[in-house]
Protein backbone atom coordinates (compact mmCIF):
# COMPACT_ATOMS: atom_id res chain seq x y z
CA UNK A 1 0.00 0.00 0.00
CA UNK A 2 1.25 3.49 -0.90
CA UNK A 3 1.69 5.58 2.26
CA UNK A 4 2.85 8.67 0.37
CA UNK A 5 -0.57 10.45 0.22
CA UNK A 6 -1.04 9.93 3.97
CA UNK A 7 2.42 11.23 4.82
CA UNK A 8 1.89 14.23 2.56
CA UNK A 9 -1.46 14.89 4.23
CA UNK A 10 -0.03 14.96 7.73
CA UNK A 11 2.94 17.03 6.57
CA UNK A 12 0.50 19.57 5.13
CA UNK A 13 -1.60 19.53 8.31
CA UNK A 14 1.49 20.02 10.49
CA UNK A 15 2.85 22.94 8.46
CA UNK A 16 -0.57 24.56 8.30
CA UNK A 17 -1.17 24.22 12.04
CA UNK A 18 2.23 25.66 12.99
CA UNK A 19 1.71 28.69 10.72
CA UNK A 20 -1.81 29.18 12.07
CA UNK A 21 -0.51 29.24 15.65
CA UNK A 22 1.99 31.95 14.70
CA UNK A 23 -0.51 34.19 12.89
CA UNK A 24 -3.73 33.09 14.61
CA UNK A 25 -2.81 34.05 18.17
CA UNK A 26 -2.02 37.72 17.35
CA UNK A 27 -5.15 38.04 15.20
CA UNK A 28 -7.34 36.47 17.90
CA UNK A 29 -5.74 38.72 20.52
CA UNK A 30 -6.44 41.83 18.46
CA UNK A 31 -10.04 40.79 17.72
CA UNK A 32 -10.71 40.06 21.40
CA UNK A 33 -9.48 43.49 22.49
CA UNK A 34 -10.18 45.94 19.71
CA UNK A 35 -13.14 48.29 19.51
CA UNK A 36 -12.34 49.26 15.94
CA UNK A 37 -15.20 49.82 13.52
CA UNK A 38 -13.64 47.40 11.06
CA UNK A 39 -13.75 44.52 13.57
CA UNK A 40 -17.05 43.09 12.18
CA UNK A 41 -15.60 43.19 8.67
CA UNK A 42 -12.45 41.34 9.71
CA UNK A 43 -14.44 38.79 11.73
CA UNK A 44 -16.62 38.20 8.68
CA UNK A 45 -13.59 37.67 6.44
CA UNK A 46 -12.05 35.26 8.95
CA UNK A 47 -15.31 33.30 9.15
CA UNK A 48 -15.96 33.12 5.40
CA UNK A 49 -14.28 29.68 4.97
CA UNK A 50 -16.92 28.24 7.31
CA UNK A 51 -19.75 28.95 4.88
CA UNK A 52 -18.16 29.20 1.42
CA UNK A 53 -17.88 26.01 -0.64
CA UNK A 54 -14.22 24.91 -0.68
CA UNK A 55 -14.21 24.97 -4.48
CA UNK A 56 -15.05 28.70 -4.44
CA UNK A 57 -12.01 29.48 -2.33
CA UNK A 58 -9.91 27.08 -4.37
CA UNK A 59 -11.00 28.75 -7.60
CA UNK A 60 -10.03 32.22 -6.40
CA UNK A 61 -6.72 30.95 -5.05
CA UNK A 62 -6.09 29.42 -8.47
CA UNK A 63 -6.92 32.71 -10.21
CA UNK A 64 -4.78 34.84 -7.86
CA UNK A 65 -1.73 32.57 -7.88
CA UNK A 66 -1.86 31.65 -11.56
CA UNK A 67 1.14 32.90 -13.60
CA UNK A 68 -1.40 34.16 -16.13
CA UNK A 69 -2.57 36.83 -13.67
CA UNK A 70 -0.72 39.88 -12.39
CA UNK A 71 0.08 38.73 -8.86
CA UNK A 72 0.97 35.18 -9.84
CA UNK A 73 3.10 36.44 -12.71
CA UNK A 74 4.93 38.83 -10.35
CA UNK A 75 5.65 35.99 -7.93
CA UNK A 76 6.94 33.84 -10.77
CA UNK A 77 9.13 36.42 -12.51
CA UNK A 78 10.50 38.40 -9.58
CA UNK A 79 10.60 35.89 -6.74
CA UNK A 80 10.68 32.64 -8.74
CA UNK A 81 7.78 31.39 -6.60
CA UNK A 82 5.23 29.10 -8.20
CA UNK A 83 2.23 28.44 -5.96
CA UNK A 84 -0.17 26.78 -8.40
CA UNK A 85 0.14 22.98 -8.35
CA UNK A 86 2.79 23.09 -5.64
CA UNK A 87 3.03 22.09 -1.99
CA UNK A 88 3.69 25.70 -1.00
CA UNK A 89 0.42 26.69 -2.66
CA UNK A 90 -1.36 23.96 -0.73
CA UNK A 91 0.03 25.31 2.55
CA UNK A 92 -1.06 28.89 1.87
CA UNK A 93 -4.54 27.82 0.76
CA UNK A 94 -4.90 25.51 3.76
CA UNK A 95 -3.86 28.25 6.17
CA UNK A 96 -6.54 30.59 4.86
CA UNK A 97 -9.14 27.82 4.66
CA UNK A 98 -8.53 26.70 8.26
CA UNK A 99 -8.09 30.20 9.71
CA UNK A 100 -11.43 30.31 11.61
CA UNK A 101 -10.77 26.97 13.26
CA UNK A 102 -7.72 28.44 14.97
CA UNK A 103 -8.88 31.99 15.59
CA UNK A 104 -12.41 31.44 16.91
CA UNK A 105 -11.54 29.20 19.90
CA UNK A 106 -8.59 31.39 20.92
CA UNK A 107 -10.58 34.61 20.52
CA UNK A 108 -13.38 33.15 22.62
CA UNK A 109 -10.94 32.04 25.30
CA UNK A 110 -9.18 35.42 25.46
CA UNK A 111 -12.51 37.25 25.63
CA UNK A 112 -13.49 35.13 28.64
CA UNK A 113 -10.46 36.03 30.76
CA UNK A 114 -11.27 38.28 33.69
CA UNK A 115 -10.12 41.81 33.03
CA UNK A 116 -8.73 42.03 36.57
CA UNK A 117 -6.13 39.36 35.72
CA UNK A 118 -4.91 41.32 32.71
CA UNK A 119 -4.87 44.61 34.60
CA UNK A 120 -2.90 43.02 37.45
CA UNK A 121 -0.24 41.95 34.95
CA UNK A 122 -0.01 45.48 33.57
CA UNK A 123 0.30 46.89 37.10
CA UNK A 124 3.24 44.55 37.67
CA UNK A 125 5.01 46.12 34.70
CA UNK A 126 4.37 43.43 32.10
CA UNK A 127 3.98 44.51 28.48
CA UNK A 128 1.00 43.47 26.34
CA UNK A 129 2.98 40.67 24.70
CA UNK A 130 4.41 39.46 28.00
CA UNK A 131 0.90 39.44 29.43
CA UNK A 132 -0.37 37.51 26.43
CA UNK A 133 2.40 34.89 26.48
CA UNK A 134 2.89 34.46 30.23
CA UNK A 135 -0.56 35.21 31.67
CA UNK A 136 -3.37 34.98 29.12
CA UNK A 137 -2.36 32.01 26.97
CA UNK A 138 -1.70 29.75 30.01
CA UNK A 139 -5.21 30.67 31.16
CA UNK A 140 -6.79 29.43 27.93
CA UNK A 141 -4.92 26.17 27.34
CA UNK A 142 -8.13 24.24 26.49
CA UNK A 143 -9.12 26.86 23.89
CA UNK A 144 -5.61 26.87 22.45
CA UNK A 145 -5.58 23.07 22.27
CA UNK A 146 -8.99 23.08 20.61
CA UNK A 147 -7.80 25.52 17.96
CA UNK A 148 -4.68 23.48 17.26
CA UNK A 149 -6.52 20.17 16.99
CA UNK A 150 -9.43 21.51 14.93
CA UNK A 151 -7.03 23.20 12.51
CA UNK A 152 -4.98 20.03 12.13
CA UNK A 153 -8.03 17.78 11.71
CA UNK A 154 -9.72 20.19 9.31
CA UNK A 155 -6.62 20.33 7.11
CA UNK A 156 -6.45 16.53 7.05
CA UNK A 157 -9.98 16.41 5.64
CA UNK A 158 -9.57 19.07 2.93
CA UNK A 159 -10.55 18.15 -0.60
CA UNK A 160 -12.00 20.92 -2.75
CA UNK A 161 -9.41 23.57 -1.94
CA UNK A 162 -6.40 21.30 -2.34
CA UNK A 163 -7.75 19.81 -5.56
CA UNK A 164 -8.29 23.24 -7.14
CA UNK A 165 -4.96 24.81 -6.15
CA UNK A 166 -2.77 21.70 -6.04
CA UNK A 167 -4.23 19.34 -8.57
CA UNK A 168 -3.35 15.67 -8.36
CA UNK A 169 0.43 15.31 -8.59
CA UNK A 170 1.76 12.15 -6.86
CA UNK A 171 4.37 12.92 -4.22
CA UNK A 172 3.77 16.66 -4.50
CA UNK A 173 0.10 17.59 -4.09
CA UNK A 174 -1.78 14.29 -4.03
CA UNK A 175 -3.01 14.15 -0.44
CA UNK A 176 -5.08 11.33 1.07
CA UNK A 177 -8.50 12.84 0.35
CA UNK A 178 -7.65 13.07 -3.35
CA UNK A 179 -6.14 9.57 -3.29
CA UNK A 180 -9.44 8.24 -1.91
CA UNK A 181 -11.34 9.91 -4.75
CA UNK A 182 -8.95 8.45 -7.32
CA UNK A 183 -9.18 4.95 -5.90
CA UNK A 184 -12.98 5.04 -5.85
CA UNK A 185 -13.05 6.23 -9.47
CA UNK A 186 -10.74 3.32 -10.34
CA UNK A 187 -13.05 0.94 -8.42
CA UNK A 188 -10.14 0.09 -6.13
CA UNK A 189 -12.22 0.00 -2.97
CA UNK A 190 -9.61 -1.78 -0.83
CA UNK A 191 -7.14 1.08 -1.24
CA UNK A 192 -9.89 3.67 -0.75
CA UNK A 193 -10.96 1.91 2.42
CA UNK A 194 -7.38 1.82 3.69
CA UNK A 195 -6.87 5.57 3.28
CA UNK A 196 -10.33 6.31 4.66
CA UNK A 197 -9.90 4.13 7.72
CA UNK A 198 -6.49 5.61 8.59
CA UNK A 199 -7.86 9.15 8.37
CA UNK A 200 -10.97 8.20 10.35
CA UNK A 201 -9.01 6.48 13.10
CA UNK A 202 -6.45 9.24 13.52
CA UNK A 203 -8.92 12.13 13.49
CA UNK A 204 -11.23 10.25 15.87
CA UNK A 205 -8.39 9.71 18.34
CA UNK A 206 -7.29 13.34 18.10
CA UNK A 207 -10.79 14.71 18.70
CA UNK A 208 -11.46 12.23 21.49
CA UNK A 209 -8.29 13.37 23.23
CA UNK A 210 -9.46 16.98 23.04
CA UNK A 211 -12.83 16.17 24.56
CA UNK A 212 -11.21 14.15 27.33
CA UNK A 213 -8.71 16.88 28.17
CA UNK A 214 -11.10 19.81 27.88
CA UNK A 215 -13.83 17.99 29.76
CA UNK A 216 -11.37 16.86 32.43
CA UNK A 217 -12.76 13.35 32.05
CA UNK A 218 -9.51 11.52 31.44
CA UNK A 219 -9.01 10.55 35.06
CA UNK A 220 -12.50 9.04 35.12
CA UNK A 221 -12.31 7.41 31.70
CA UNK A 222 -11.05 4.03 32.82
CA UNK A 223 -13.27 3.78 35.91
For residue 70, what are the domain limits?
Answer: 4-32+40-221
pLDDT tier, 134 (very low <50, low <70, confident <90, very high otherwise): confident
- Taking residues 187-196, what's their average pLDDT? 94
- Taking residues 173-192, what's their average pLDDT? 93
Query: How many other C-beta atoms lie within 10 A of the C-beta of residue 38?
Result: 9
Please give the model's pTM, rounded to 2 decimal places: 0.89
Q: How many domains does the chain contain in total?
A: 1
Residue 218 pLDDT > 60: no
Residue 105 pLDDT > 50: yes
Per-residue pLDDT, 215? 65
Helix or strand run (H / E) with residue 120: helix 115-123
Per-residue pLDDT, 216? 54
- Taking residues 77-96, what's their average pLDDT? 90
Domain holding 61: CATH number? 1.10.3720.10
Distances (CA, A) of 132 to 104, 121, 151, 166: 17, 10, 21, 36
- Taking residues 193-206, what's their average pLDDT? 91
Across the chain, mean pLDDT equals: 89
Tens digit of each residue's pLDDT (9 = 90 or more) over 202-212: 889 888 877 77
Per-residue pLDDT, 152? 93
Tens digit of each residue's pLDDT (9 = 90 or more) over 16-75: 999 999 999 999 999 999 989 999 999 999 999 999 988 898 899 889 988 888 888 888
Distances (CA, A) of 8 to 37, 139, 162, 170: 41, 34, 12, 10
- Taking residues 94-103, what's their average pLDDT? 95
Per-residue pLDDT, 211? 79
Q: Is residue 6 within 8 Å of 195, Cβ to Cβ?
A: yes
Query: Is 11 buried (19+), middle (13-18) or exposed (0-12) by CB count in 10 A?
Result: middle
Can you tell me the distance from the alpha carbon of 167 to that of 163, in angstroms, rounded to the nearest whole number? 5
Per-residue pLDDT, 17? 96
pLDDT tier, 117 (very low <50, low <70, confident <90, very high otherwise): confident
Residue 201 pLDDT > 80: yes
**Helices 189-214 and 176-185: angle between axes, nearest 10 degrees:** 150
Can you tell me the distance from the alpha carbon of 153 to that of 210, in angstroms, rounded to the nearest whole number? 11
Residue 217 pLDDT > 80: no
Per-residue pLDDT, 223? 45
Amino acid sequence: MNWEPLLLTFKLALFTTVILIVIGVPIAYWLSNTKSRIKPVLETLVSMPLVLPPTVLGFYFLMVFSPNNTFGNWLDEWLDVKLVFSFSGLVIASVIYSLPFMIHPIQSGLSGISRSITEASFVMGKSKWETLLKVQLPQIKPALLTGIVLSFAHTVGEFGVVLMIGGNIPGKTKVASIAIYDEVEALNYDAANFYSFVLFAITFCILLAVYLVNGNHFKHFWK
